[in-house]
Amino acid sequence: MELVRMQAPFVLVTGGKGGVGKSTVAANLGVQLAREGHRVLLVDLDLGLANLDLLLDVGSGATLEDVVHGGLRLAECVRTGPAGLSVLAGGSGDERMGRLTDDQRHELLQELRELSADYDIVLGDSSAGIGPDVLRFAAVADRVLVVTTPELPALTDAYGLIKAMDQLSRRDGLDVPTPEVVVNLAVDVEEGTSVANKLRAICERFLSRSPRQAGWLPRSRSVAAGAAHRRPFALAEQRGLEQLCLRQVSGRLQRLIPRPTPALVS
Ligand SMILES: Nc1ncnc2c1ncn2[C@@H]1O[C@H](COP(=O)(O)OP(=O)(O)OP(=O)(O)O)[C@@H](O)[C@H]1O
Ligand SMILES: [Mg+2]
């Protein structure tokens, strides 16, 4: 089946393990990029167990479930979040969403492609694991961010995910990008760097791939409080370490957004 490419840079935030901070990273990157004046579409691609809407307080309304099973258009599901961020919420608890057919996934991506024309960047928050959704969404992404924590199980699963993406690339001749790594819940910059270096060394040795580090985030009370109060820490006025770290990652993504060509002065 032909790959569906978006009309704006598409960034998939994923990670091998559950609970490592994928949604936290995706939501706050979305808010940060929107604060910087970009037109951002944030999509909850954790299809069976979506919860981005809870992190962002975007109210209730139609979800991707209504698109796949209710015949709604994707554009009818867009909600407005903080800083003018556009959010496509997913449904939760419908087991059919957890096992989309290739055709359903293809149609969803086609709709997303149409909608993406109105945005500067599209961010997807994915589920954990190496299921077909994650791998197929990664295959059409311009940038994949793999979130891990310093813990060995998370790091092992991050490697497993990168390996699965690599296998898919080879098997189907797809150009799946080598992911970039975000180390979440690190103690300090040294730990963030050493964890990312460890993962890169393993990938270089066994996969001949060299995933760069996109950044890191500290374990922080304001990150957790932001989630609990539905007010992402990217909105906070005082600039803590977590905000500096977030801006390092968002700065890298910003470079994917084409700048308008300046009009020629005659
Ligand atoms: N840097 C951080 N500091 C403190 N708490 C954090 C940080 N990052 C994430 N958390 C907390 O960890 C929990 C899991 O985060 P999150 O939901 O973003 O993970 P996830 O990878 O999306 O999980 P799932 O696999 O279930 O989708 C949340 O309660 C979140 O607030
Ligand atoms: Mg999540």
Q: Specify the pLDDT at position 264.
A: 65
Nearest atom within ligand 1 for CA of residue 27 = 18
On whether residue 191 sits in a domain, the answer given is no
Q: Specify the pLDDT at position 48.
A: 86
Distance 9 CA to ligand 1 centre (A): 25
On whether residue 214 sits in a domain, the answer given is no
On whether residue 101 sits in a domain, the answer given is yes
130 in Cβ contact with 161 (< 8 Å): yes
> Which residues touch 245 (CB under 8 Å, ≥6 apart)?
215, 216, 217, 218
Domain that holds residue 123: 10-146+220-254
The 8-class DSSP code of residue 68 comes to H
On whether residue 19 sits in a domain, the answer given is yes
On whether residue 52 sits in a domain, the answer given is yes
Q: How far apart are CA 43 and CA 53, in angstroms?
A: 10
Ligand nearest to the CA of 22: 1
On whether residue 213 sits in a domain, the answer given is no
Over residues 91-117, the pLDDT tens digits come to: 888 899 989 999 999 999 999 999 999
Q: Specify the pLDDT at position 111.
A: 96
Coil, strand, or helix at residue 51? coil
Amino acid at 178: T
Neighbour tally for 44: CB within 10 Å = 27
How many domains, the chain?
Answer: 1
On whether residue 121 sits in a domain, the answer given is yes
Over residues 206-230, the pLDDT tens digits come to: 999 999 999 999 999 999 999 999 9
The 8-class DSSP code of residue 121 comes to E
Nearest CA to ligand 1 atom 29: 224
Query: In the structure, which protein residues have their CB atom closer than 6 angstroms to any atom of ligand 1?
Result: 15, 18-24, 46, 128, 184-185, 217, 219-220, 223-224, 227
Q: Which of 234, 190, 209, 218 is nearest to 83 (CA)?
A: 234
CATH number of the CATH domain containing 96: 3.40.50.300
Q: Specify the pLDDT at position 1.
A: 72
41 in Cβ contact with 116 (< 8 Å): yes
Distance 120 CA to ligand 1 centre (A): 26
On whether residue 240 sits in a domain, the answer given is yes
Q: Say if residue 107 is exposed, middle or buried (CB neighbours under 10 Å; 0-12, 13-18, 19+).
A: middle
Pocket test residue of 17, 20, 22, 24 for ligand 1, highest count of atoms within 8 A of CB? 24
17 in Cβ contact with 134 (< 8 Å): no
Q: Specify the pLDDT at position 160.
A: 98
146 in Cβ contact with 162 (< 8 Å): yes
Q: Specify the pLDDT at position 266.
A: 56
pTM of the model: 0.96
pLDDT in tens for each of the 266 residues of the chain? 788 999 999 999 999 999 999 999 999 999 999 999 999 999 999 998 988 998 998 989 999 999 999 999 999 999 999 999 999 999 888 899 989 999 999 999 999 999 999 999 999 999 999 999 999 999 999 999 999 999 999 999 999 999 999 999 999 888 889 999 999 999 999 999 999 999 999 999 999 999 999 999 999 999 999 999 999 999 998 789 999 999 999 999 999 999 877 776 65
Q: Specify the pLDDT at position 20.
A: 98
Q: Which of 13, 16, 28, 20 is nearest to 225 (CA)?
A: 28
